[in-house]
Chain A
Amino acid sequence: MTAVWGVGTTRFAKQRERSGAELAWEAVLEALSDAGVDDVDAVYVGTVFGAPGVAQRVLHTLGIVDVPVVTVENACASGTTAFHEARWAIEAGRFDRVLVLGIEQMSAHFDGAIHPEPSDAEGRSGMALPSLYAMSASRYLHEGWVTPEQLAQVSVKNHAHALENPRAQYSGRFTVQEVLASRMIADPLTLLQCCPISDAAAAAVLGRERGEPRDVPVRASRLASGRLWDQTTDHVWGFELVRDVARAAYEEAGIAPADADLFEVHDAFTIGEIVTTEGLGLAEEGGGGELVASGHTALGGAQPVNPSGGLLSRGHPLGATGLAQVAEVVTQLRGDAGGRQVDGARVGVVETMGGGVAGIDGNGCVVAVLGG
Protein backbone atom coordinates (compact mmCIF):
# COMPACT_ATOMS: atom_id res chain seq x y z
CA MET A 1 0.00 0.00 0.00
CA THR A 2 1.07 3.56 -0.69
CA ALA A 3 1.64 5.93 2.21
CA VAL A 4 2.25 9.62 2.62
CA TRP A 5 5.76 9.88 4.01
CA GLY A 6 5.89 13.62 4.42
CA VAL A 7 4.12 16.89 3.68
CA GLY A 8 5.09 20.54 3.39
CA THR A 9 3.47 23.85 2.56
CA THR A 10 4.17 27.54 2.39
CA ARG A 11 1.86 29.93 4.13
CA PHE A 12 -1.22 30.88 2.12
CA ALA A 13 -1.37 34.53 1.14
CA LYS A 14 -0.97 37.00 -1.68
CA GLN A 15 2.81 36.81 -2.08
CA ARG A 16 3.59 38.80 -5.21
CA GLU A 17 7.09 39.51 -3.94
CA ARG A 18 8.04 35.84 -3.99
CA SER A 19 8.85 33.85 -7.11
CA GLY A 20 7.19 30.56 -7.85
CA ALA A 21 10.54 28.92 -7.25
CA GLU A 22 10.76 30.36 -3.74
CA LEU A 23 7.30 29.04 -2.90
CA ALA A 24 8.14 25.61 -4.25
CA TRP A 25 11.49 25.45 -2.46
CA GLU A 26 9.82 25.96 0.88
CA ALA A 27 7.09 23.35 0.36
CA VAL A 28 9.36 20.74 -1.23
CA LEU A 29 12.16 21.04 1.31
CA GLU A 30 9.70 20.76 4.17
CA ALA A 31 8.09 17.68 2.59
CA LEU A 32 11.43 15.97 1.90
CA SER A 33 12.63 16.71 5.42
CA ASP A 34 9.35 15.49 6.90
CA ALA A 35 9.65 12.29 4.87
CA GLY A 36 13.31 11.89 5.78
CA VAL A 37 14.46 11.45 2.18
CA ASP A 38 16.83 13.34 -0.11
CA ASP A 39 15.74 12.13 -3.50
CA VAL A 40 12.72 10.79 -5.35
CA ASP A 41 12.07 8.60 -8.39
CA ALA A 42 9.55 10.89 -10.08
CA VAL A 43 7.63 14.13 -9.63
CA TYR A 44 3.96 14.81 -10.34
CA VAL A 45 3.01 18.48 -10.38
CA GLY A 46 -0.40 20.14 -10.36
CA THR A 47 -0.83 23.72 -11.56
CA VAL A 48 -3.52 25.63 -13.46
CA PHE A 49 -1.98 28.94 -14.46
CA GLY A 50 1.67 27.95 -14.09
CA ALA A 51 3.86 28.98 -17.01
CA PRO A 52 5.07 26.28 -19.40
CA GLY A 53 8.01 24.55 -17.75
CA VAL A 54 7.17 25.82 -14.27
CA ALA A 55 7.80 22.41 -12.69
CA GLN A 56 11.26 21.79 -14.12
CA ARG A 57 12.16 25.46 -13.62
CA VAL A 58 11.67 25.16 -9.87
CA LEU A 59 12.80 21.54 -9.44
CA HIS A 60 16.23 21.77 -11.07
CA THR A 61 17.25 24.50 -8.65
CA LEU A 62 16.73 21.94 -5.86
CA GLY A 63 18.78 19.36 -7.76
CA ILE A 64 15.69 17.31 -8.57
CA VAL A 65 16.74 16.33 -12.09
CA ASP A 66 17.07 13.22 -14.27
CA VAL A 67 13.67 11.86 -13.22
CA PRO A 68 10.26 11.76 -14.90
CA VAL A 69 8.40 15.04 -14.28
CA VAL A 70 4.69 15.06 -15.16
CA THR A 71 2.67 18.26 -14.94
CA VAL A 72 -1.11 18.03 -14.89
CA GLU A 73 -3.91 20.59 -15.18
CA ASN A 74 -7.33 19.64 -13.89
CA ALA A 75 -8.71 23.00 -12.73
CA CYS A 76 -9.04 23.20 -8.95
CA ALA A 77 -8.44 19.46 -8.68
CA SER A 78 -4.99 19.69 -10.30
CA GLY A 79 -3.08 19.05 -7.08
CA THR A 80 -5.12 16.04 -6.03
CA THR A 81 -5.08 14.73 -9.60
CA ALA A 82 -1.26 14.76 -9.39
CA PHE A 83 -1.53 13.04 -5.98
CA HIS A 84 -3.91 10.41 -7.35
CA GLU A 85 -1.71 9.67 -10.37
CA ALA A 86 1.42 9.46 -8.22
CA ARG A 87 -0.31 7.09 -5.84
CA TRP A 88 -1.42 4.78 -8.65
CA ALA A 89 2.03 4.90 -10.24
CA ILE A 90 3.42 3.57 -6.95
CA GLU A 91 0.65 0.98 -6.68
CA ALA A 92 1.48 -0.15 -10.22
CA GLY A 93 5.12 -0.60 -9.27
CA ARG A 94 6.48 2.12 -11.52
CA PHE A 95 8.15 4.07 -8.68
CA ASP A 96 9.09 3.57 -5.03
CA ARG A 97 8.92 7.18 -3.89
CA VAL A 98 7.37 10.16 -5.62
CA LEU A 99 7.25 13.88 -4.92
CA VAL A 100 3.90 15.54 -5.56
CA LEU A 101 3.91 19.32 -5.83
CA GLY A 102 1.11 21.82 -6.25
CA ILE A 103 1.99 25.37 -7.13
CA GLU A 104 0.02 28.48 -8.00
CA GLN A 105 0.70 32.19 -8.15
CA MET A 106 -2.77 33.56 -8.56
CA SER A 107 -1.99 37.18 -7.78
CA ALA A 108 0.26 37.35 -10.83
CA HIS A 109 -2.81 36.75 -12.99
CA PHE A 110 -5.88 38.09 -11.23
CA ASP A 111 -7.03 41.03 -9.13
CA GLY A 112 -10.56 39.73 -8.65
CA ALA A 113 -12.60 36.77 -9.78
CA ILE A 114 -10.82 34.34 -12.09
CA HIS A 115 -11.54 35.40 -15.65
CA PRO A 116 -13.93 33.17 -17.52
CA GLU A 117 -12.26 31.20 -20.31
CA PRO A 118 -13.20 32.82 -23.64
CA SER A 119 -13.11 29.55 -25.61
CA ASP A 120 -15.88 28.18 -23.38
CA ALA A 121 -19.49 28.77 -24.41
CA GLU A 122 -20.47 29.99 -20.94
CA GLY A 123 -17.14 31.55 -20.11
CA ARG A 124 -17.45 33.73 -23.21
CA SER A 125 -20.87 34.74 -21.92
CA GLY A 126 -19.41 36.11 -18.69
CA MET A 127 -19.90 33.07 -16.46
CA ALA A 128 -17.25 33.15 -13.73
CA LEU A 129 -16.86 30.63 -10.93
CA PRO A 130 -18.71 32.78 -8.34
CA SER A 131 -21.75 32.92 -10.61
CA LEU A 132 -21.61 29.18 -11.32
CA TYR A 133 -21.78 28.47 -7.61
CA ALA A 134 -24.40 31.21 -7.17
CA MET A 135 -26.61 29.29 -9.59
CA SER A 136 -26.42 26.29 -7.27
CA ALA A 137 -27.27 28.48 -4.30
CA SER A 138 -30.21 29.95 -6.25
CA ARG A 139 -31.51 26.47 -6.83
CA TYR A 140 -31.02 25.38 -3.21
CA LEU A 141 -32.82 28.45 -1.90
CA HIS A 142 -35.68 27.78 -4.32
CA GLU A 143 -35.95 24.16 -3.18
CA GLY A 144 -35.92 25.25 0.45
CA TRP A 145 -32.83 23.10 1.01
CA VAL A 146 -30.74 25.84 2.56
CA THR A 147 -31.29 29.23 4.15
CA PRO A 148 -29.04 32.29 3.68
CA GLU A 149 -28.11 31.92 7.34
CA GLN A 150 -27.03 28.30 6.86
CA LEU A 151 -24.88 29.32 3.89
CA ALA A 152 -23.27 32.00 6.04
CA GLN A 153 -22.69 29.49 8.83
CA VAL A 154 -20.20 27.65 6.61
CA SER A 155 -18.14 30.83 6.39
CA VAL A 156 -18.44 31.50 10.12
CA LYS A 157 -17.28 27.95 10.89
CA ASN A 158 -14.35 27.85 8.51
CA HIS A 159 -13.05 31.32 9.41
CA ALA A 160 -13.16 30.29 13.08
CA HIS A 161 -11.32 27.04 12.31
CA ALA A 162 -8.55 29.03 10.61
CA LEU A 163 -7.87 30.98 13.81
CA GLU A 164 -5.80 27.97 14.89
CA ASN A 165 -4.03 27.59 11.53
CA PRO A 166 -0.96 29.85 11.48
CA ARG A 167 -0.52 29.39 7.73
CA ALA A 168 -4.09 30.38 6.82
CA GLN A 169 -4.68 33.44 4.64
CA TYR A 170 -7.66 34.73 6.61
CA SER A 171 -9.39 33.91 9.85
CA GLY A 172 -11.77 35.58 12.22
CA ARG A 173 -14.73 35.36 14.50
CA PHE A 174 -17.52 36.52 12.25
CA THR A 175 -21.22 36.40 12.91
CA VAL A 176 -23.79 35.12 10.45
CA GLN A 177 -25.03 38.70 10.14
CA GLU A 178 -21.54 39.99 9.31
CA VAL A 179 -21.13 37.34 6.61
CA LEU A 180 -24.49 38.20 5.08
CA ALA A 181 -23.76 41.94 5.28
CA SER A 182 -20.43 41.71 3.47
CA ARG A 183 -20.31 42.95 -0.12
CA MET A 184 -22.47 41.05 -2.61
CA ILE A 185 -20.38 39.16 -5.20
CA ALA A 186 -22.88 36.93 -7.03
CA ASP A 187 -26.34 36.86 -5.48
CA PRO A 188 -26.76 35.29 -2.90
CA LEU A 189 -23.03 34.79 -2.29
CA THR A 190 -21.36 37.62 -0.38
CA LEU A 191 -17.63 38.36 -0.16
CA LEU A 192 -17.09 36.31 3.01
CA GLN A 193 -18.69 33.34 1.24
CA CYS A 194 -16.05 33.36 -1.53
CA CYS A 195 -12.50 32.00 -1.35
CA PRO A 196 -9.64 34.46 -1.81
CA ILE A 197 -6.96 34.73 -4.48
CA SER A 198 -3.89 32.97 -3.06
CA ASP A 199 -0.25 32.29 -3.84
CA ALA A 200 1.22 29.14 -2.36
CA ALA A 201 2.90 25.80 -2.89
CA ALA A 202 2.21 22.52 -1.15
CA ALA A 203 3.94 19.16 -1.49
CA ALA A 204 3.84 15.56 -0.35
CA VAL A 205 6.23 12.65 -0.63
CA LEU A 206 4.49 9.33 -1.33
CA GLY A 207 6.11 5.93 -1.14
CA ARG A 208 5.51 2.30 -0.37
CA GLU A 209 4.57 1.56 3.22
CA ARG A 210 7.84 1.26 5.13
CA GLY A 211 6.77 0.79 8.75
CA GLU A 212 7.40 4.35 9.89
CA PRO A 213 4.77 5.22 12.51
CA ARG A 214 4.37 8.77 11.21
CA ASP A 215 3.56 7.61 7.66
CA VAL A 216 -0.10 7.85 6.73
CA PRO A 217 -1.54 5.13 4.47
CA VAL A 218 -3.52 6.09 1.38
CA ARG A 219 -6.54 3.79 1.60
CA ALA A 220 -8.19 4.96 -1.59
CA SER A 221 -8.17 7.62 -4.27
CA ARG A 222 -10.56 8.08 -7.15
CA LEU A 223 -10.77 10.57 -10.01
CA ALA A 224 -13.41 11.20 -12.64
CA SER A 225 -14.59 13.97 -14.91
CA GLY A 226 -18.23 14.98 -14.79
CA ARG A 227 -20.99 13.52 -16.90
CA LEU A 228 -23.06 15.72 -19.18
CA TRP A 229 -24.82 18.37 -17.10
CA ASP A 230 -27.85 19.70 -18.90
CA GLN A 231 -31.63 20.14 -19.07
CA THR A 232 -32.18 16.53 -18.04
CA THR A 233 -31.03 17.05 -14.44
CA ASP A 234 -32.33 19.01 -11.48
CA HIS A 235 -29.24 18.21 -9.42
CA VAL A 236 -26.98 21.22 -9.08
CA TRP A 237 -23.66 21.31 -10.82
CA GLY A 238 -21.14 18.87 -9.30
CA PHE A 239 -23.42 17.03 -6.88
CA GLU A 240 -23.57 13.78 -8.80
CA LEU A 241 -19.86 13.85 -9.60
CA VAL A 242 -18.86 14.22 -5.94
CA ARG A 243 -21.40 11.58 -4.91
CA ASP A 244 -20.22 9.03 -7.47
CA VAL A 245 -16.49 9.56 -6.93
CA ALA A 246 -16.94 9.45 -3.15
CA ARG A 247 -18.89 6.19 -3.34
CA ALA A 248 -16.09 4.61 -5.37
CA ALA A 249 -13.45 5.86 -2.93
CA TYR A 250 -15.38 4.64 0.11
CA GLU A 251 -15.80 1.26 -1.53
CA GLU A 252 -12.09 1.00 -2.27
CA ALA A 253 -11.26 1.99 1.32
CA GLY A 254 -13.92 -0.29 2.79
CA ILE A 255 -15.50 2.49 4.83
CA ALA A 256 -18.83 4.26 5.13
CA PRO A 257 -19.12 8.07 5.36
CA ALA A 258 -19.77 7.77 9.10
CA ASP A 259 -16.38 6.08 9.58
CA ALA A 260 -14.38 9.18 8.66
CA ASP A 261 -13.27 11.44 11.50
CA LEU A 262 -12.62 14.56 9.44
CA PHE A 263 -12.92 15.95 5.93
CA GLU A 264 -11.04 18.54 3.90
CA VAL A 265 -13.41 19.51 1.09
CA HIS A 266 -13.80 21.98 -1.74
CA ASP A 267 -15.51 24.98 -0.13
CA ALA A 268 -14.51 27.49 -2.80
CA PHE A 269 -17.88 29.07 -2.00
CA THR A 270 -20.16 28.33 0.96
CA ILE A 271 -22.71 26.53 -1.18
CA GLY A 272 -19.87 24.30 -2.38
CA GLU A 273 -19.34 22.87 1.10
CA ILE A 274 -23.09 22.37 1.56
CA VAL A 275 -23.46 20.44 -1.70
CA THR A 276 -20.22 18.54 -1.13
CA THR A 277 -21.11 17.31 2.33
CA GLU A 278 -24.27 15.92 0.77
CA GLY A 279 -22.34 14.33 -2.09
CA LEU A 280 -19.95 12.80 0.43
CA GLY A 281 -22.87 11.18 2.21
CA LEU A 282 -22.77 13.19 5.45
CA ALA A 283 -26.35 14.25 4.77
CA GLU A 284 -29.10 13.52 2.29
CA GLU A 285 -29.36 15.78 -0.75
CA GLY A 286 -30.89 18.98 0.61
CA GLY A 287 -29.75 18.26 4.15
CA GLY A 288 -26.37 20.01 4.09
CA GLY A 289 -27.74 23.28 5.45
CA GLU A 290 -29.16 21.64 8.54
CA LEU A 291 -25.95 19.64 8.90
CA VAL A 292 -23.75 22.73 9.24
CA ALA A 293 -26.32 24.46 11.45
CA SER A 294 -26.28 21.45 13.80
CA GLY A 295 -22.57 21.81 14.53
CA HIS A 296 -21.86 18.30 13.22
CA THR A 297 -19.16 19.63 10.86
CA ALA A 298 -17.55 22.14 13.24
CA LEU A 299 -14.44 21.46 15.30
CA GLY A 300 -15.76 19.72 18.39
CA GLY A 301 -18.60 18.21 16.37
CA ALA A 302 -18.86 14.58 15.32
CA GLN A 303 -17.23 14.98 11.89
CA PRO A 304 -15.37 18.26 11.43
CA VAL A 305 -15.23 19.54 7.86
CA ASN A 306 -12.35 21.82 6.88
CA PRO A 307 -10.54 22.10 10.22
CA SER A 308 -7.78 23.95 8.33
CA GLY A 309 -10.21 26.75 7.47
CA GLY A 310 -10.83 25.30 4.03
CA LEU A 311 -10.49 27.17 0.77
CA LEU A 312 -12.65 29.96 2.21
CA SER A 313 -10.13 30.90 4.90
CA ARG A 314 -6.88 28.99 4.46
CA GLY A 315 -6.92 30.19 0.85
CA HIS A 316 -7.30 28.66 -2.59
CA PRO A 317 -4.11 28.59 -4.67
CA LEU A 318 -5.73 26.37 -7.32
CA GLY A 319 -3.03 23.84 -8.17
CA ALA A 320 -1.69 23.81 -4.60
CA THR A 321 -5.05 23.38 -2.91
CA GLY A 322 -5.28 19.60 -3.20
CA LEU A 323 -1.86 19.11 -1.62
CA ALA A 324 -2.75 21.61 1.10
CA GLN A 325 -5.79 19.46 1.87
CA VAL A 326 -3.63 16.32 1.96
CA ALA A 327 -1.13 18.08 4.24
CA GLU A 328 -3.93 19.05 6.63
CA VAL A 329 -5.37 15.54 6.82
CA VAL A 330 -1.90 14.03 7.35
CA THR A 331 -1.19 16.56 10.10
CA GLN A 332 -4.51 15.76 11.75
CA LEU A 333 -4.03 11.99 11.55
CA ARG A 334 -0.60 12.35 13.15
CA GLY A 335 -2.12 14.37 15.98
CA ASP A 336 0.05 17.37 15.16
CA ALA A 337 -2.67 19.93 14.41
CA GLY A 338 -2.40 21.87 17.68
CA GLY A 339 -5.39 24.05 18.51
CA ARG A 340 -7.39 22.77 15.56
CA GLN A 341 -6.75 19.09 16.30
CA VAL A 342 -9.69 16.75 15.73
CA ASP A 343 -9.71 14.51 18.79
CA GLY A 344 -8.91 10.89 18.04
CA ALA A 345 -8.63 11.42 14.28
CA ARG A 346 -7.89 8.09 12.57
CA VAL A 347 -9.48 8.34 9.13
CA GLY A 348 -9.60 11.48 6.98
CA VAL A 349 -11.14 12.24 3.61
CA VAL A 350 -9.91 14.71 0.99
CA GLU A 351 -12.25 15.97 -1.74
CA THR A 352 -11.34 18.43 -4.49
CA MET A 353 -13.60 19.63 -7.29
CA GLY A 354 -12.51 21.38 -10.46
CA GLY A 355 -14.88 23.27 -12.74
CA GLY A 356 -15.14 25.79 -15.51
CA VAL A 357 -16.18 23.76 -18.56
CA ALA A 358 -19.79 24.38 -19.60
CA GLY A 359 -21.97 21.34 -20.18
CA ILE A 360 -20.44 18.84 -17.77
CA ASP A 361 -20.84 18.16 -14.08
CA GLY A 362 -17.26 19.20 -13.33
CA ASN A 363 -13.85 19.08 -15.00
CA GLY A 364 -12.66 16.64 -12.40
CA CYS A 365 -13.24 15.48 -8.85
CA VAL A 366 -10.82 13.57 -6.63
CA VAL A 367 -11.75 11.86 -3.39
CA ALA A 368 -9.02 10.23 -1.30
CA VAL A 369 -9.23 8.32 1.98
CA LEU A 370 -6.21 8.49 4.28
CA GLY A 371 -5.33 6.73 7.50
CA GLY A 372 -7.19 3.98 9.30
Chain B
Amino acid sequence: MTGAGPDPRPRMTEAGGLAGARCEACGYAVAFPRPRCPRCRGELAPAEFGPGGTVWASTVVHVPVPGVEPPFGLAYVDLDDDGPRVLVHTGGEAPLPVGARAELAAPDSLGNLRAR
Protein backbone atom coordinates (compact mmCIF):
# COMPACT_ATOMS: atom_id res chain seq x y z
CA MET B 1 0.00 0.00 0.00
CA THR B 2 1.82 3.12 -1.18
CA GLY B 3 1.08 6.77 -0.57
CA ALA B 4 -0.66 5.93 2.69
CA GLY B 5 1.65 7.83 5.03
CA PRO B 6 3.86 6.47 7.80
CA ASP B 7 3.25 2.84 8.69
CA PRO B 8 1.17 2.76 11.92
CA ARG B 9 1.50 -0.99 12.49
CA PRO B 10 3.32 -2.47 15.50
CA ARG B 11 6.91 -3.55 14.91
CA MET B 12 8.97 -6.50 16.01
CA THR B 13 12.34 -6.51 17.76
CA GLU B 14 15.35 -8.26 16.28
CA ALA B 15 14.91 -10.89 18.97
CA GLY B 16 11.47 -11.75 17.58
CA GLY B 17 9.30 -10.05 20.18
CA LEU B 18 6.94 -7.13 19.85
CA ALA B 19 8.52 -3.70 20.25
CA GLY B 20 5.95 -2.06 22.49
CA ALA B 21 5.99 -0.03 25.68
CA ARG B 22 4.84 -0.36 29.27
CA CYS B 23 3.74 2.37 31.66
CA GLU B 24 6.22 2.92 34.47
CA ALA B 25 3.39 4.03 36.78
CA CYS B 26 0.50 1.62 36.20
CA GLY B 27 2.10 -1.17 34.15
CA TYR B 28 -0.30 -0.86 31.19
CA ALA B 29 1.12 -2.41 28.02
CA VAL B 30 0.76 -0.84 24.58
CA ALA B 31 1.73 -2.24 21.20
CA PHE B 32 2.75 0.89 19.33
CA PRO B 33 4.14 4.35 20.08
CA ARG B 34 2.29 7.10 21.87
CA PRO B 35 3.55 9.95 24.03
CA ARG B 36 2.11 8.86 27.39
CA CYS B 37 0.16 6.02 28.96
CA PRO B 38 -3.43 6.36 27.70
CA ARG B 39 -4.77 5.10 31.02
CA CYS B 40 -2.91 7.24 33.55
CA ARG B 41 -0.75 9.55 31.40
CA GLY B 42 2.35 8.12 33.09
CA GLU B 43 5.71 7.79 31.40
CA LEU B 44 6.12 4.89 29.00
CA ALA B 45 9.30 2.82 28.78
CA PRO B 46 10.14 0.63 25.78
CA ALA B 47 9.27 -3.01 26.46
CA GLU B 48 9.43 -6.21 24.50
CA PHE B 49 6.46 -8.56 24.53
CA GLY B 50 5.85 -12.12 23.45
CA PRO B 51 6.55 -13.83 21.17
CA GLY B 52 4.12 -16.16 22.94
CA GLY B 53 0.48 -15.38 23.46
CA THR B 54 -3.09 -16.68 23.52
CA VAL B 55 -5.67 -16.36 20.75
CA TRP B 56 -8.53 -14.10 21.89
CA ALA B 57 -10.56 -14.29 18.66
CA SER B 58 -9.95 -15.29 15.06
CA THR B 59 -11.50 -15.20 11.60
CA VAL B 60 -10.71 -15.98 7.98
CA VAL B 61 -11.55 -13.20 5.54
CA HIS B 62 -12.84 -14.24 2.11
CA VAL B 63 -13.18 -10.81 0.48
CA PRO B 64 -10.31 -8.73 -0.85
CA VAL B 65 -8.98 -5.69 0.93
CA PRO B 66 -6.43 -3.47 -0.81
CA GLY B 67 -3.11 -5.26 -1.04
CA VAL B 68 -4.24 -8.54 0.52
CA GLU B 69 -5.49 -11.51 -1.46
CA PRO B 70 -8.21 -13.60 0.15
CA PRO B 71 -8.55 -15.89 1.90
CA PHE B 72 -6.43 -14.65 4.78
CA GLY B 73 -6.65 -15.29 8.47
CA LEU B 74 -6.70 -12.68 11.22
CA ALA B 75 -6.47 -13.15 14.96
CA TYR B 76 -6.32 -11.05 18.08
CA VAL B 77 -3.55 -12.46 20.24
CA ASP B 78 -3.04 -11.44 23.87
CA LEU B 79 0.73 -11.53 24.36
CA ASP B 80 2.02 -13.21 27.52
CA ASP B 81 2.71 -11.49 30.84
CA ASP B 82 -0.08 -8.92 30.50
CA GLY B 83 1.25 -7.86 27.13
CA PRO B 84 -0.87 -6.02 24.57
CA ARG B 85 -3.61 -7.53 22.41
CA VAL B 86 -2.30 -7.42 18.84
CA LEU B 87 -3.86 -8.11 15.46
CA VAL B 88 -1.89 -10.70 13.49
CA HIS B 89 -2.23 -12.47 10.18
CA THR B 90 -2.58 -16.23 10.20
CA GLY B 91 -3.04 -18.88 7.55
CA GLY B 92 -6.15 -18.77 5.41
CA GLU B 93 -7.30 -22.31 6.04
CA ALA B 94 -9.44 -21.90 9.16
CA PRO B 95 -9.77 -19.58 12.13
CA LEU B 96 -7.41 -20.36 15.02
CA PRO B 97 -9.14 -21.88 18.03
CA VAL B 98 -9.94 -19.26 20.67
CA GLY B 99 -7.76 -19.89 23.70
CA ALA B 100 -5.03 -21.67 21.72
CA ARG B 101 -1.37 -20.79 22.10
CA ALA B 102 0.18 -18.68 19.35
CA GLU B 103 3.62 -17.32 18.65
CA LEU B 104 4.57 -14.16 16.75
CA ALA B 105 6.47 -14.74 13.54
CA ALA B 106 8.39 -12.40 11.24
CA PRO B 107 6.11 -10.01 9.31
CA ASP B 108 4.93 -11.09 5.87
CA SER B 109 6.02 -9.37 2.65
CA LEU B 110 3.28 -6.77 3.19
CA GLY B 111 4.65 -5.91 6.63
CA ASN B 112 1.83 -7.47 8.60
CA LEU B 113 2.56 -9.16 11.90
CA ARG B 114 2.06 -12.89 11.68
CA ALA B 115 1.43 -15.66 14.18
CA ARG B 116 1.60 -19.42 13.98
**Chain A residues engaging chain B, CB cutoff 8 angstroms:** 112-113, 115-116, 118-122, 124-128, 130-131, 134-139, 142, 183-188, 228, 230-231, 234, 236, 358
Contact = CB atoms under 8 A, between A and B. Distances in A.
B59 A116 contact: no
Contacts of A236: 57
A125 B85 contact: no
B35 interface: no
B9 to A, nearest CB: 5
Contacts of A113: 63, 65
Given A131-B74, A358-B87, A121 B32 contact: yes
Interface in B12-59: 29, 31-32, 38-39, 56-59
Contacts of A127: 74, 87
Contacts of B62: 183-187
Contacts of B110: 126
A138 B61 contact: no
A321 B33 CA distance: 35
A317 B88 CA distance: 30
B91 to A, nearest CB: 12
A230 B89 CA distance: 18
A8 B35 CA distance: 46
Contact of B65 (A120, A128, A184): A128
Q: What interface size band does chain B fall in?
A: 35 or more
Interface in B60-112: 60-68, 72, 74, 76, 78-79, 82-85, 87, 89, 94-95, 98-99, 110, 112
Contacts, number: 106
Interface of B: 1, 4-5, 7-10, 29, 31-32, 38-39, 56-68, 72, 74, 76, 78-79, 82-85, 87, 89, 94-95, 98-99, 110, 112-113
B65 A116 contact: yes
B60 A186 contact: yes
B59 A131 contact: yes
Interface of A is mostly: loop
5 contacts: A121-B87, A125-B113, A135-B58, A184-B62, A231-B56
Given A128-B65, A231-B84, A187 B60 contact: yes
Contacts of B78: 231
A252 to B, nearest CB: 28
Given A113-B65, A126-B74, 20 more contacts: A112-B63, A112-B64, A113-B63, A118-B1, A118-B5, A124-B1, A124-B9, A125-B9, A126-B67, A130-B61, A134-B59, A135-B76, A136-B57, A183-B62, A185-B63, A186-B59, A188-B59, A228-B39, A231-B79, A236-B57
Contact of B59 (A118, A135, A228, A231): A135
A230 B85 contact: yes
A121 B83 contact: no
Contacts of B66: 115-116, 118
Closest 6 CB pairs of A and B: A118-B4, A142-B98, A134-B59, A231-B85, A135-B57, A138-B57
A115 B65 contact: yes
B87 A139 contact: no
Contacts of B72: 126
Contacts of A231: 29, 56, 78-79, 82-85
| Residue of B10, B58, B63, B113 with most chain A CB atoms under a 10 A cut-off | B63
Among B59, B65, B98: residue with most chain A CB under 10 A: B59
Nearest to B99: A142
Nearest to B67: A126
Contacts of B79: 231
Contact of A125 (B57, B64, B84, B89): B89
B95 A125 contact: no
Contacts of B67: 126
A32 B60 CA distance: 46
B7 A126 contact: no
A320 to B, nearest CB: 23
A131 B65 CA distance: 11
B32 to A, nearest CB: 6
A126 B88 CA distance: 10
A124 B38 CA distance: 21
